[in-house]
Amino acid sequence: MVLEIYLDLISQPCRSVYIFAKKNNIPFEYKKVSLMAGEHYGEEFGKINVMRKVPAIRDGDFCMGESIAIMQYLAEKYGTPDHWYPAELQKRARVNEYLAWQHSAMRPHGSKILWLKLMIPKVMGVEIPKEKMDAAIEDLDSSLKLIEEKFLQDRPFFAGEEISLADLVAIVEIMQPVGAGLDVFEGRPKLSAWKDRVRAAIGAGLFDEAHQEILAAQEMAKNMDGSKMQHFKAKILKIFL
């Protein structure tokens, strides 16, 4: 039975799993789960992931969620090249350090920009107070500074000379606010050069394919029917406002 991966590429963790599987020639069936349409709340998807989050996988009778755990599982099962999740103790520690940090730092700040700058005002029709937007950008700037100074430093990639899961998870998160129209690479030559190296290591075609939806988010928002988001509007506003 072929591996099934449940994804919506508007989601940054979904993009990381998609890129990882495609780059490593892992055979899988792409199962689209539309977050904006609320398909993750459906009964059938609940059988795959009771937490109702994407990405998720079904490998025979085995189901699991959480993007990082999924990529670690795939790396072990398919014997992907060592640079993705290095066996050497200190290199793996560097990767694990970033993966642990980003959950409460890069992840929420990048997501918040997308919602505050684009989805909430343009689709839900709710005005965002300037101080909320300013604070969100300040938080994002702080995380990006740490990525440059702490995690990247003067190395080509986070763990050394080659791309790892840490770089992959970082780039998909950083591209989220870009989709909202905030150019986070402007004025950051080190971060911009790293992004170019990551894109080249992934392959420009695959990188661009995976980010096509998020980079079209501003146009998508113009054509979205906000009424379709009513089922989770209150939850979104509670989280971000």
| CA distance readout (Å), 20 to 7, 119, 206 | 13, 27, 10
What tens digit of pLDDT does each residue of 180-209 get?
A: 999 999 999 999 999 999 999 999 999 999
Between residues 226 and 87, the one the model is more confident about = 87
Domain with CATH 3.40.30.10 in the chain: 3-80
Residue type, 14: C
> Per-residue pLDDT averaged across 9-22, rounded?
98
In the chain, % of residues over pLDDT 70: 98
- 23 band by pLDDT with thresholds 50, 70 and 90: very high
- 173 band by pLDDT with thresholds 50, 70 and 90: very high
**SS3 (DSSP) at 6:** strand
d(CA 140, CA 170): 13
d(CA 3, CA 209): 21
What's the 3-state SS for 107-144? Answer: HHHHHHHHHHHHHHHHHCCCCCCHHHHHHHHHHHHHHH
Q: Determine which helix (DSSP H) or strand (DSSP E) holds 17, and give its type and residue range.
A: helix 12-23
CATH topology of domain 89-240: Glutathione S-transferase Yfyf (Class Pi); Chain A, domain 2 (1.20.1050)
> Per-residue pLDDT averaged across 145-170, rounded?
98
What tens digit of pLDDT does each residue of 223-239 get?
A: 887 666 776 788 888 88
* H helix intervals, 122-203: 130-146, 165-179, 189-202
What pLDDT is attached to residue 41?
86
What pLDDT is attached to residue 239?
84
What pLDDT is attached to residue 241?
79
d(CA 133, CA 146): 20
d(CA 222, CA 187): 29
Domain with CATH 1.20.1050.10 in the chain: 89-240
> Per-residue pLDDT averaged across 64-71, rounded?
98
Domain at 3-80: CATH code: 3.40.30.10
What tens digit of pLDDT does each residue of 101-125 get?
A: 999 999 999 999 999 999 999 988 8
What pLDDT is attached to residue 228?
66
